[in-house]
Structure 1
Amino acid sequence: MTFLWPWMLLGLGVVPLLAGLYAVMQRRRPRYAARFTNLDLLANVVEGSPGWRRHIPPVLYLLAIAAVVVALARPQLVTKTPRQEGTVVLVTDVSGSMNATDVNPTRMAAAQEAAHTLVDRLPKGFRVSLIAFSSGVSVLVPPTTEKESVHAAIDRLSPLGGTAMGDALATAVDVVKAALAPTDGGSGGPAPTPEAPIRAEGEAAPAVIVLLSDGANTVGTYQPLDAARLAAEAGIPVYAVALGTPDGVAVVIDPQGRQRTVRVPPDFATLQAIAETTGGRAFQAPGADQLASIYRDLGDRIGYYEEQTDVSWAGAALAGVLVLAGGTLGLLWFNRFP
Structure 2
Amino acid sequence: MIVGVARPHATVTVRREQATVVLAIDVSRSMQATDVRPSRLAAARAAAKAFLGKVPEKFQVALVSFGSRAVVVVAPTADHTLVADGLDALRPGEGTALGDAIAISARLGHKLQEREGHQPPSAVLMISDGAQMGGTTPPNRAVRLARSLHVPVYTVLVGTAGGVVQARIAGGFRATIRVPPNPTTLRMVAKETGGQFFTATSDKRLREVYERLGSRLGHRQTSREITDLFAGGSALLLLAGGALSALWFRRVP
Q: Is TM (by shorter chain) over 0.5?
A: yes
Q: Is 1:276 matched up with 2:209?
A: no
Q: 1:171 aligns with which of 104, 129, 132?
A: 104
Question: 1:248 is matched with which residue: 163, 179, 188?
Answer: 163
1:290 and 2:223 correspond: no
- Corresponding residue SS for 2:207: helix
Partner of 2:28: 95
Distance 1:326 1:229 in 2: 61
CA RMSD of aligned residues (A): 3.7
> Quick one: structure 1 residues 337 and 261, their matched pair in 2 at CA, closer, same or farther if it must change by over 3 Å?
farther
Q: Match of 1:56?
A: none
2:62 corresponds to? 129
CA distance in 2, matches of 1:127, 1:254: 43
Of 106, 121, 124, the residue aligned with 2:39 is 106
Partner of residue 181, structure 2: 266
- Structure 1: where are the runs of 5+ without partners? 1-67, 183-197, 200-204
Q: The residue matched to 2:112 in structure 1 has which SS? A: helix
* Corresponding residue to 2:146 among 214, 226, 231: 231
Q: How many residues align?
A: 250
Change beyond 3 A, Cα 1:325–1:298? same
Alpha-carbon separation, structure 1, partners of 2:114 and 2:231: 49
Q: Secondary structure at the match of 2:56?
A: coil
Name whichever structure is richer in helix by fraction: 1
What displacement does 1:279 show?
2.0
- TM-score, scaled relative to structure 1: 0.61
Give the 5 Å matches for 1:26-37. none
Which secondary structure does the structure 2 equivalent of 1:121 belong to?
coil
Deviations 1:287-320 (A, max 9, x none): 2222222212212222211235566755775787
Matches within 5 A, 1:1-338: 79-180=12-113, 206-253=121-168, 259-309=174-224
Q: Which moved more, 1:259-268 or 1:128-137?
A: 259-268
Name the one with the larger strand percent: 2
Shift of 1:272: 1.1
What's the CA shift for 1:78?
Answer: 5.0
Larger radius of gyration: 1
Amino acid at match of 1:92: I
**1:270 counterpart SS class:** helix
Q: Which secondary structure state, in structure 1, belongs to the residue aligned with residue 104 of structure 2? A: helix
Higher RCO (C-alpha under 8 Å, 6+ residues apart) = 2
Residues of 1 paired with 2:97 and 2:173: CA distance?
A: 21
